[in-house]
Chains A and B, each alone.
Chain A
Amino acid sequence: MSESLLAGLLFLLVVLAVIAVRAADLLLAAIALGGYGLVMALVWAALGAVDVAFTEAVVGAGATTVLFFAALLRTSRRRSPVANPLGWAAGAVVAATGATMLWVAAALPPWGDPTAAPAVHVSPRYLVATIAETGTPNAVTAVLADYRGYDTLVETVVIVTSGLACWLLLRRDPA
């Protein structure tokens, strides 16, 4: 992973996000969001998080874009640019929150430091013990399915519940 590649991808990410936000045409916003999801997957692959990038490439750039299009074609496509009188107050609050987060981010350990706190508590144990205890070279799958199995169980229940909720909300009337 080269720094310039990562910097270029992050810049492209910001450009696409701003396009998706500023577009008056909702179809353009959905398309820009799909492009944003794809570039985000590339950023994560460039960082080395390949499992997450794989999922985001199919979900963010594929399924979410199609679902947005489907919803758009059932509802209105253009938006009327109504001026929001509270826009300045929202902007001030967001700017203050952003400044606080940047101040906190300055206190984080240097990016990429292998002796940072997240890397030295429990994850070395997962990396060292994954083959001996589970026989799975892919440490992410072992953590997801074995060491943190409860999280994955409840999260599967969450996604099935969302499918049920969508089905109940949009049931075809037996007319």
Chain B
Amino acid sequence: MNYPYWVAVFLLMLGLYVMVAQRNLLKKLVGMNIFQTAIILFFLLLSVKRHATLPIVPGTVGDVRGFMNPLPHALMLTAIVVMVATTGVALAILIRLHTAYGSLEERVIAERLSAPPGPAAGPEAGR
């Protein structure tokens, strides 16, 4: 039964739906995080072998079918680090947006973006 793949696909679609349909920017980030970890789960599920142990080779390897596939692990380590990098930059952009427009709601920011510039100072007045 391939039910772990179904769980990974469900989490992927949940993250994608949140990224597209949520109005709050921070909730979109939560959805992006769920999406990224679900992709990593899907990839790691491809590296599992039944009755296999960790990919740490003690001395001589008898049968490679007794060890997990190490290549997806290495690629997914990269993916996790990129995950924290994108989350950090996205949060920095969110904070700047909030400072400039006063809200994290997509609709409010869009309205204030397209509003004609007022007589007051620009976005940097709040700092």
Contacts and interface: CB of A to CB of B under 8 A. Distances in A.
A5 interface: no
A74 B50 CA distance: 47
B81 interface: yes
A91 B78 contact: no
Interface residues of B, number: 85
Which residue of A17, A29, A84, A91 has the most chain B CB atoms within 10 A of its CB atom?
A17
B55 A127 contact: yes
B72 A118 contact: yes
A123 B87 contact: no
Interface residues of A: mostly helix, strand, loop or mixed?
Answer: helix
23 contacts: A13-B11, A14-B7, A21-B30, A26-B24, A26-B27, A33-B30, A33-B34, A44-B40, A44-B41, A48-B53, A52-B76, A59-B81, A60-B37, A79-B24, A82-B105, A97-B13, A97-B16, A98-B9, A101-B12, A108-B2, A128-B64, A131-B60, A170-B95
A171 B2 CA distance: 49
B4 A127 contact: no
3 smallest beta-carbon distances between A and B, as pairs: A162-B85, A139-B70, A112-B50
Residues of A in contact with B, size category: 35 or more
Which residue of B45, B81, B86, B91 has the most chain A CB atoms within 10 A of its CB atom?
B91
Interface of B: 1-7, 9-18, 20-24, 26-27, 29-31, 33-34, 37, 40-41, 44-50, 52-61, 64-65, 67-78, 80-89, 91-96, 98, 103-105, 107, 127
Interface residues of B: mostly helix, strand, loop or mixed?
Answer: helix
Contact of B48 (A108, A112, A139, A148): A112
Interface in A20-54: 20-21, 26, 29-30, 33, 36-37, 40, 43-44, 47-52
Which residue of A94, A106, A173 has the most chain B CB atoms within 10 A of its CB atom?
A94
B74 A148 contact: yes
Given A33-B30, A59-B84, A137-B56, A75 B104 contact: yes
Contacts of B84: 59, 63-64, 67, 159
A43 B92 contact: no
Given A56-B80, A113-B50, A140-B74, A49 B86 contact: no
Nearest to B107: A82
B9 A131 contact: no
B23 A84 contact: yes
Which residue of B21, B33, B45, B73 has the most chain A CB atoms within 10 A of its CB atom?
B73
